[in-house]
Amino acid sequence: MKIVFVSVESGIAAMGFRKIAAIARQVVPSLEVCFITTDNLYSFSSHFFPDKDFSIQEADISRIGEYLARADLVAFSCMTASATYVEQIAARIRSLNPRTFLLWGGIHPSLYSDEAIAFVDAICVGEGETPLRMFLEAFSRDQQTGQTPNMWFRTGDLITRNKSLPLNSSA
């Protein structure tokens, strides 16, 4: 089973994504992690050449989608500024391999859940550490995932909005 986690952001810091990917690797050690930098906002080049377009082009979207369409599960993470790229990549994957399960987490699907779920099979809303582990354990065993808390699932026009777990606490 091929599972790929993808951060779509201006840079590669993505601390929350890195934490989630590390948790996911505890369940699926063969998990692949990819970083797609959308506009090189933090590079020296973008500051020295402000008029140059460093954004992802349509040909890039196509190549990225072709690569990710080989996976059984692709899990995206992004902030709202990069959401359009996730939508485009998800559409490309879907056109090439409708069987690839598409999951989207991060701040954008948490804030704009109704918009995000239209592009993927499932979204994670809010904290993902525990729900993701539960989801991956079931998914990797080919078991039912649709009851995973903090997650919404879309089957055609039907959307299942599961209840949320209590927030993580250090107390």
pLDDT-derived band at 42, boundaries 50, 70, 90: low
pLDDT in tens, 72-90: 999 999 999 899 999 999 9
Q: Which DSSP state fits 62?
A: H
Instruction: Name the CA dihedral angle for 46, 50, 51, 55, rounded to a multiple of 10 degrees.
Output: 30
pLDDT in tens, 1-27: 999 999 998 877 889 999 999 999 999
Distance CA 58, CA 124 (A): 27
Whether 117 contacts 109, CB under 8 Å: yes
pLDDT in tens, 116-161: 999 999 999 998 999 999 999 999 988 888 899 999 999 999 999 9
Whether 129 contacts 145, CB under 8 Å: no
